Structures are given as C-alpha cells and as structure tokens.
Amino acid sequence: MQPEITFVVPAYNVAEYLPDCLESLLAVPVAKEIILIDDGSTDNTGEVAQHFFRLHDCITLIRQHNQGVSAARNRGIALARGRFVQFVDADDILRNQAHYPDWIEFATQQKIDIVKTLIQWVKHNGEHLTTQSPYHQFNGEGYVSHGHDYWHQMLLGNWFPSAVNGFYRTQLLQQHDGLRFPEGLSHSEDALFFADVMCSQPDIRVLEIKQVGYVYRHRVNSASHSLDSNMRGCVSTCEIVKLLWQRMEWAKQRAMQPENQAHWQRMHKHLISTIAVQVMVLYDRYYVYLNETQKASVRHYFTPELLALIQPFSKIDIIL
C-alpha cells in the first residue's frame, strides 16, 4: 500500500532531540514512511536512529558521510513513495498530528500541491517564543490560493520561505528534476527551493492551514546559529542570490514568449522582490558582523547591477 506521506529527516549530531522528533512523526495517524538519514553524525545519533529503525517498520534508515541537509533532503525526494512528502529537521517536532488525515484528504481531493501550516518557535527547553501568523486573512481553518498569490503575500509580510512547515505533493517534486535543494550551501537554501517550486508550473495550488503544525526548536549551537556561521551564512546566501538572479533572467526571457506569459511576468516580478529581500537578509544578518578582511572577500558579490536592482526595495542603507 502506498503511504499517504513520507517524512524526510536529515539527522546530524542530534541524539538528544531525535527521539522526540521521531515520536511526533510516529503519532501521525496515517500510513506513512519515515526516511531517516544519519548524515555522518559523530555523537550517538546513529545508535538512537538504529533503535527506532529496529522497532518500527515504517522507518528506513540511511547512513552517509556528512553531505549537508540539502543532499539528505534530495536523497529523500528521490526515494519517497508517499503521496506527499514533508521535510523535518531532527531537532524539531510536529504538532496537531490528529489533523493530518483531514489535511491529506482535502489536499488529495482538491489537487493541492503544497500544504502550509503555521510554525511555533520554542527555546531549547521547550518554552514558547512566538507563533507565526497566517499570510492570508481568512475565516475557517484553511485557505486555498494560487502559488503566485501565496508568494506575493509572503513578500508583503514576514518573509520566511521555510521548507519544513507543511508538505508537498511528491509527484510535483519528482517530475521536475530542478526541484531539489542546492547542495553545498548551508544557509538560505529554502528560499531558492521555494522559488523553484513556485516557478515549476503555472497552476501551483497552496493550502494554508491556520493551525500550528510544526515546532521549531531554537538552538544556539545548531548549524544555523554556531559562532562561525556568519561568514558561511554570508557566502551561502550570496550564492543563493546568484542562483535567484539566474532564475530571474530566465523568467524574463520566458515572459517575452506568448505561452504562459502572465505567469512568467508574475514570476519575474516576484523573483526581483525575493532577491531584494535576500540581499537585505544577508547584509543585516551576516555581512555587518564580518571583520574587514572577510567583508573584502565577499564584496564582489554586491555588483552595481545587484545594488541597482534592490535599491527601490531596500529598507536599510547598504554600506560596503
């Protein structure tokens, strides 16, 4: 029997948190598979993963040399057998699992490509920090929109193109070879993946759920918050901006052709805005914290063309 959903769980040195994560996935009351990828852990993550693998037939355990979260997720996409696929970081948990059967049934009947739930952020000890607000204002529990409208609302509101808060139609990801995470980059990879998904076809449909479905644990010693992450974050986000620029140029060319012209015009416009947002993120979050030598090594990314593109959108003064 085909699983209703595949959970892809990259795990690297998360032995302390992995049991809670896996228990939250196992509590989802639908036919499921869990692809657990031990990405070269050096702590007891492998032993914890092996323990759960032995106990539960729905878990597939893969071990690989450390290649990063994107490579692990891409491997999961290729192997996924579920109707839908969700990416879960191994130090986080799901919430409101009892609603998954209804969400999946509705998404299947209405030919939904992406289901997005709200994210709750908690501290290391589980103390609540904040909860994401919906991008659309709507009554009821869910709202269906076209992909370009959801993207537009994200750009107007709190830009957070996370890949984990919700699930994707597996066929959509598997039938488009380009719908993969950029390997070798450690920050901002979700932004490029989000843009690629939204550009993949003109009729993308998104279901936004007004319930928390994902709990993100804020860890100061995680990969995205380590002390040496500023330089890696800056370079990685700069490379993501370069790739988004390529997508923007491609969308501009497609917008000149009669086929799906309106779609590609919207995509071109949204990609410009996305580039502007990502540049502000990399400058405010990473660049300003670099020393002078580090700044000099990445300054070439801020080309005159890029600065001119983002100038109408910039809410901060970029001083190089």
Q: Do 219 and 231 fall within a single domain?
A: no
Render pLDDT for 13-29 as a digit per residue (tens, 0 to 9). Answer: 999 999 999 999 999 99
Render pLDDT for 61-87 as a digit per residue (tens, 0 to 9). Answer: 999 999 999 999 999 999 999 999 999
Task: Kindly indicate the confidence band of residue 228, based on its pLDDT and cuts at 50, 70 and 90.
Answer: low
Residue 227, pLDDT > 60, answer no
Residue 124, pLDDT > 90, answer no
Q: Do 169 and 208 fall within a single domain?
A: yes
Residue 98, pLDDT > 90, answer yes
Q: Do 211 and 279 fall within a single domain?
A: no
For 121, counting Cβ atoms within 10 Å of its Cβ (0-12 exposed, 13-18 middle, 19+ buried), the class is middle
Q: Do 162 and 240 fall within a single domain?
A: no
Least-confidence region, from 33-42, 120-129, 201-210: 120-129
Structural domain contains residue 320: no
Q: Which of 224, 242, 272 is the last residue of a domain?
A: 224
Per the CB < 8 A criterion, the answer to whether 129 and 123 are in contact is yes
The DSSP bridge partners found for residue 115 are 167, 207
Structural domain contains residue 316: no
Q: What was the pLDDT predicted at 127?
A: 87
Structural domain contains residue 18: yes
Residue 261, pLDDT > 60, answer yes
Q: Do 125 and 268 fall within a single domain?
A: no
Q: What was the pLDDT predicted at 251?
A: 97
Q: Do 151 and 137 fall within a single domain?
A: yes
Task: Kindly indicate the confidence band of residue 225, based on its pLDDT and cuts at 50, 70 and 90.
Answer: very low
- Region 114-123: mean pLDDT is 96
- Tell me what percent of the residues of the chain surpass a pLDDT of 70: 97
Name the residue with tokens 């779609």. Answer: 263
Q: What was the pLDDT predicted at 317?
A: 79
Structural domain contains residue 210: yes
Render pLDDT for 155-204 as a digit per residue (tens, 0 to 9). Answer: 998 899 999 999 999 999 999 988 999 999 989 999 999 999 999 999 99
Q: What was the pLDDT predicted at 319?
A: 85
Q: Do 119 and 166 fall within a single domain?
A: yes
Count of positions (residues) in the chain: 320
Residue 314, pLDDT > 60, answer yes
Structural domain contains residue 160: yes
The mean pLDDT value of the chain amounts to 94
Q: Which of 197, 224, 251 is the last residue of a domain?
A: 224
Q: Do 174 and 250 fall within a single domain?
A: no
Q: Do 250 and 146 fall within a single domain?
A: no
Residue 226, pLDDT > 60, answer no
Structural domain contains residue 190: yes
Q: Do 143 and 274 fall within a single domain?
A: no
Q: Which of 179, 198, 224 is the last residue of a domain?
A: 224
* Domain span including residue 30: 5-224
Q: What was the pLDDT predicted at 240?
A: 97
Query: Could you tell me which of 287, 65, 42 has the C-alpha nearest to residue 188?
Result: 287
Structural domain contains residue 292: yes
Q: Do 236 and 98 fall within a single domain?
A: no
Query: Could you tell me which of 87, 81, 84, 91 has the C-alpha nearest to residue 45?
Result: 91
Measured between alpha carbons, how far is 86 from 33 in angstroms, rounded to an integer?
A: 11
Structural domain contains residue 131: yes
Residue 106, pLDDT > 80, answer yes
- Tell me what percent of the residues of the chain surpass a pLDDT of 90: 87
Model confidence, pTM = 0.94
Q: Do 292 and 163 fall within a single domain?
A: no
Measured between alpha carbons, how far is 48 from 41 in angstroms, rounded to an integer?
A: 11
Q: What was the pLDDT predicted at 220?
A: 60
Q: What was the pLDDT predicted at 223?
A: 47
User: Which DSSP string do the residues of 128-171 spell out, in sequence order?
Assistant: EEEEPPPSS--SSSEEEEEHHHHHHHHHHS-----SSSEEEEHH
**Count: domains in the chain:** 2
